[in-house]
Amino acid sequence: MSVIVDPNAVQEMDEEWESEAATSGDTGLDEEEEDDGEPKICRVCGDRATGYHFNAMTCEGCKGFFRRAMKRSIHLSCPFQRSCVITKNNRRQCQACRLRKCLDIGMRKELIMTDEAVENRRALIRRKKQMRRVTVSAEVQTGLTSEHQLLIQELTQAQNQTFDRSFSHFHHFRPVERSPLRSCHSAESFDEYVPTSYGQIWRGGSGGSSPEDPYLTHCHQDPMDTMAPDSLHKSENSAERKVFCMLPHISDLSTYMIKGVISFAKVLAPFRELSIEDQIALLKGAAFELTQIRFNTLFNSTTGLWECGKLEYDINDASLAGFKALLLDPLLKFHYILKKLNLQNEEYSLMQAISLFSPDRPGVKHSERIDQLQEMCALALKSYIDTRRPQHEKKFLFPKIIRCLTELRSMNVEYCKQVVEIHDIQPDNSPLIMEVFSRGND
Amino acid sequence: MSVIVDPNAVQEMDEEWESEAATSGDTGLDEEEEDDGEPKICRVCGDRATGYHFNAMTCEGCKGFFRRAMKRSIHLSCPFQRSCVITKNNRRQCQACRLRKCLDIGMRKELIMTDEAVENRRALIRRKKQMRRVTVSAEVQTGLTSEHQLLIQELTQAQNQTFDRSFSHFHHFRPVERSPLRSCHSAESFDEYVPTSYGQIWRGGSGGSSPEDPYLTHCHQDPMDTMAPDSLHKSENSAERKVFCMLPHISDLSTYMIKGVISFAKVLAPFRELSIEDQIALLKGAAFELTQIRFNTLFNSTTGLWECGKLEYDINDASLAGFKALLLDPLLKFHYILKKLNLQNEEYSLMQAISLFSPDRPGVKHSERIDQLQEMCALALKSYIDTRRPQHEKKFLFPKIIRCLTELRSMNVEYCKQVVEIHDIQPDNSPLIMEVFSRGND
DNA sequence: GATGGTTCATTTAGTTCA
DNA sequence: TGAACTAAATGAACCATC
């Protein structure tokens, strides 16, 4: 039964039969005098129109309705007979017919801005607003453009808000356990995970370690010393002893730090404005790097310790958590080198931002925008250095920082790999860690 | 069905009038006092009114009463003279008269949300509540892994981007032509392609469905009724009349929908990463299924119509395009059954993805990867249902959806066959359709 | 000035529970 | 049953860009 039978059709003497057939109702009242000044009447509901909206003369109500209904993109069904006459007073009673009428009279959904366009617009407006707030004088005084100033301000603020230097939560972590461990694995499989060459490389090259090496004066036992002899025995008494004795604690520490950097990112307006998808991709890609940058601020290059309140860690703790020299060698080097640059909080924050806004992380969709952000951060860092650092530092500091970021990035891959490997042996890592690192980064 | 007589069509924009009668022919009541500040008095019982409810100024009591009474849909009878005067104090004494009064003053049952709509609303609220807690993927237990979350997000985004619900292109299709057709073909060839058994099967003939089958009680004309008598006459005046009068339009509609699902696939990153060869194989294999899944979102199971803006189609339209009961019977059944599941956008999108990534389509080269993708989509759907659906739905929804997909797949073959057969008789199909369907699928 | 989006008080669905 | 809720949709007034 060719269903589109419309009783109204008979009454319609308008030229365009079909465009009216389903909904008609405006009975040509507003049509005839279109000559010049259009009648300010909503073509959908007959209310007072406020101009053309999405290509049709409509009222504010129908304008908003059309935008919202199209964005919701769900199918609406008329509870009546699909032929409701839309009027000012009944327009809310049938969304389906109202929307159909909108389309009938030529409203076009292409004229609705996409979510992305809206986001860009919002970002633009926000930036301009802030820009306006910052006076030009400030720019003159600091030598930084107000845009850079604002950015740096936002970053350091985010950093301070989300980097807990009280270390008060560290007590909730699973306990520190540095004592010799007993393997449930065979000697060779264990060898695979704790490199024998570790000590040599660490201790500075050719000859073994000299006691005065700053980063070796600490209480780490070589796991091999105590463990190898036992490694073929099955664990007899100590059910809790793990192969990677520090893993539970280090895992909780990492998890905590990751939550911190996630908060850091989420506090940043330009980050929040990205799609959720991209936010996740960026965080997955940068989590390791950001935590290491933050750890660097806690690093004491004299003692080789990361000082976290009353707890402190050395590189061997990482090896006791199962990480191998292939990662730990360059990582420790990184910390010494970066520490030497003696960065300020602003610079650390900018570094984090540059790492975070890496447009080439796997899974990133809108890389252009992220690229912009990264570039802005880099420029801000450059300007900051130029204006705040003494002459002799200006020249090389920026490239050195960038170099550190590059090194960090190259460790990222290895880190992810080792996390997964470790987890296969001893699944002590938190779900968050596994989620963030369990797929390839880069 | 010219039953839909709309009094408003004749009446001009008479302010008071319109507020009352959207479509139904209810007595336009006298709204003498409504001028500006309406009296906040319940039109049913005289109690203090709280606003318009179901199209009438009523109190909270009558609002709730009306909803419940209409939903219960049982017959009420007055213990008195069927003429009780309803007041605030006696309103509970006679439900029958109270309800009658409600209807009299213009309360409309259509403005009560359907059970389906309510369910959707609940689901949406549930989803939003969960969403509120989500910051970054794993941070919070959404019950979905971030991988699944991302997948679902990508799919729904692709769906929204590529499924044009404005139906604005439908006007460019060749015209709808539902009138009786005249054959240019010889009787026998005609008979061959418009199955004589069609009507019987449809109407519940020998082998078939019983009349009370919900999906068979609908108003389709049997093409044979009008056509058979004429089938021996050659077309005398109408050169344009075709054997399959709806074919041109339906063909353009199908072509358009296929373009839509191709776009859907092409927007998906995991799809784009497949070899071009496999992309083509998958699309050829799934085009029919995807379009049908999309059509289901437009299907109104109350009316048996697919609602596409101001156009609407019923199953008979497909038969007027030459499709036969062997396809159309199970297809209509499929639409009723799937619709009943009341799926959300996310679930429809996942369904499409599962169908799309079928590793066993003819011509597929790298089936392992596709198998992976399909499995991931299936798992995502399962988790989605587990986390977003109420307890009682969790159990069977997933298998039911899979069952629908199986059914759809089995129709795929028959569809391809009929498309080719139809094209042999009346080559109105677009090249795209022929390209997609002209070789065996499965 | 024209026409996009934004804001937020208001309206009116459904929900809860005594 | 209905008073007191919650929340989505609405639209008037507004802001911003071109």
Q: Which of A30, A96, A18, A35 is nearest to A57 (CA)?
A: A30
Task: Say yes or no for a CB contact (<8 Å) between A1 and B1.
Answer: yes
Could you report the per-residue pLDDT of A188-218, keeping only the tens digit for each? 333 333 333 333 323 333 333 333 333 333 3
Asked if residue B138 has pLDDT above 60, the reply is no
From the CA of A91, how many Å to the C1' of D4?
29
pLDDT number for residue A95? 96
Q: Which of B187, B199, B193, B189 is nearest to B224 (CA)?
A: B199
Query: Between A113 and B149, where is the model more confident?
Result: A113
Stretch B74-78: mean pLDDT: 89
Task: Say yes or no for a CB contact (<8 Å) between B13 and A46.
Answer: yes
Stretch A217-246: mean pLDDT: 47
Half-sphere exposure of B1 (CA within 13 A, CB side): 14
Conformational region of residue A280, where left means phi above 0, alpha means psi within -120 to 50, and beta covers everything else: alpha
Q: Which residue of B has its CA nearest to A9?
A: B9
Could you report the per-residue pLDDT of A162-190, keeping only the tens digit for each? 898 888 888 888 889 887 555 443 333 33
Query: Between B190 and A99, where is the model more confident?
Result: A99
> Cα-atom radius of gyration of chain B, to the nearest Å?
26
Instruction: For chain B, say whether A276 makes contact (Cβ under 8 Å).
Output: yes
Stretch B5-22: mean pLDDT: 34
pLDDT number for residue B228? 36
Could you report the per-residue pLDDT of A307-324, keeping only the tens digit for each? 998 899 999 999 999 999
pLDDT number for residue B146? 65
User: What is the nearest CA distance from B256 to chain A, expressed in angstroms?
Assistant: 18
User: Is the Cβ–Cβ distance between B306 and B298 less than 8 Å?
Assistant: yes
Judging contacts by C-beta atoms under 8 Å, the chain B residues touching residue A93 are 22, 55, 108, 111
* DSSP letters spanning A148-210: HHHHHHHHHHHHHHH--TT-GGGGGSPPP--S----SS-HHHHHHHS-TTHHHHHTTSSS---
Euclidean distance between CA atoms B243 and B190, whole angstroms: 8
Stretch B224-228: mean pLDDT: 37
Q: Where residue A392 falls among pLDDT bands split at 50, 70, 90?
A: confident
- Write the secondary structure of B30-64 as one string of H (helix), E (strand) and C (coil): CCCCCCCCCCCECCCCCCECCEEECCEEECHHHHH
Average pLDDT over all residues of chain A: 78
Asked if residue A105 has pLDDT above 70, the reply is yes
Answering whether pTM is above 0.85, one says no
Stretch B365-389: mean pLDDT: 91
User: Is the Cβ–Cβ distance between B374 and B354 less than 8 Å?
Assistant: yes
Asked if residue B239 has pLDDT above 90, the reply is no
Instruction: For chain B, say whether A279 makes contact (Cβ under 8 Å).
Output: yes
Question: CB A13: neighbour CB atoms within 10 A?
Answer: 9
Cα separation values, B256 from A266, B276, B279, B410, Å: 42, 22, 19, 23
Output DSSP code: residue A48: B
Asked if residue A352 has pLDDT above 90, the reply is yes
* DSSP letters spanning B335-399: HHHHHHT---HHHHHHHHHHHHT-TTSTT-S-HHHHHHHHHHHHHHHHHHHHHHS-HHHHHHHHH
| Chain A, window 334-373: residues with a beta carbon less than 8 angstroms from a chain B beta carbon | 363
Stretch B148-155: mean pLDDT: 85
Euclidean distance between CA atoms B248 and A181, whole angstroms: 77
Question: CB A259: neighbour CB atoms within 10 A?
Answer: 19
Q: Where residue B241 falls among pLDDT bands split at 50, 70, 90?
A: low
* DSSP letters spanning A252-284: HHHHHHHHHHHHHHHH-HHHHTS-HHHHHHHHH
Asked if residue B121 has pLDDT above 80, the reply is yes
Asked if residue A232 has pLDDT above 90, the reply is no
Judging contacts by C-beta atoms under 8 Å, the chain A residues touching residue B300 are 77
Could you report the per-residue pLDDT of A55-92, keeping only the tens digit for each? 999 999 999 999 999 999 899 999 999 999 999 999 99
pLDDT number for residue A139? 64
Contacting residues for A140 by C-beta, under 8 A, at least 6 apart: none
pLDDT number for residue A390? 83
Q: Where residue B133 falls among pLDDT bands split at 50, 70, 90?
A: low
User: Is the Cβ–Cβ distance between B96 and B83 less than 8 Å?
Assistant: no
Q: Is A285 helix (H, G, I), strand (E, B) or coil?
A: helix
Instruction: For chain A, say whether B4 makes contact (Cβ under 8 Å).
Output: yes
Average pLDDT over all residues of chain B: 79
Q: Is A41 helix (H, G, I), strand (E, B) or coil?
A: strand
- Least confident range from A414-418, B152-156, B217-221: namely B217-221
User: What's the burial of A136, exposed, middle or buried (CB within 10 Å: 0-12/13-18/19+)?
Assistant: exposed
pLDDT number for residue B281? 97
Enumerate residues near strand C (beta carbon within 7 A). A 50-55, 63-64, 67, 92, 111-113, 118, 121-122; B 50-55, 63-64, 67, 111-113, 118, 121-122
Could you report the per-residue pLDDT of A27-56, keeping only the tens digit for each? 443 443 444 566 789 999 999 999 999 999
Q: Which of B139, B412, B336 is nearest to A258 (CA)?
A: B139
Asked if residue B139 has pLDDT above 90, the reply is no
List protein-proximal bases of chain D (any atom < 7 A from a CB): 1-4, 7-14, 16-17
Conformational region of residue A184, where left means phi above 0, alpha means psi within -120 to 50, and beta covers everything else: alpha
Q: Which of A29, A25, A19 is nearest to A7 (CA)?
A: A25
Judging contacts by C-beta atoms under 8 Å, the chain B residues touching residue A271 are none
Q: Which of B271, B297, B308 is nearest to B286 (CA)?
A: B271
* DSSP letters spanning A221-232: PPHHHHHGGGTT
pLDDT number for residue A27? 40
Q: Which of B211, B227, B207 is nearest to B219 (CA)?
A: B211
Q: Across the strands, what pairs with B53?
A: B56
Query: Between A272 and A96, where is the model more confident?
Result: A96
Euclidean distance between CA atoms A325 and A315, whole angstroms: 10
Q: Where residue A358 falls among pLDDT bands split at 50, 70, 90?
A: very high
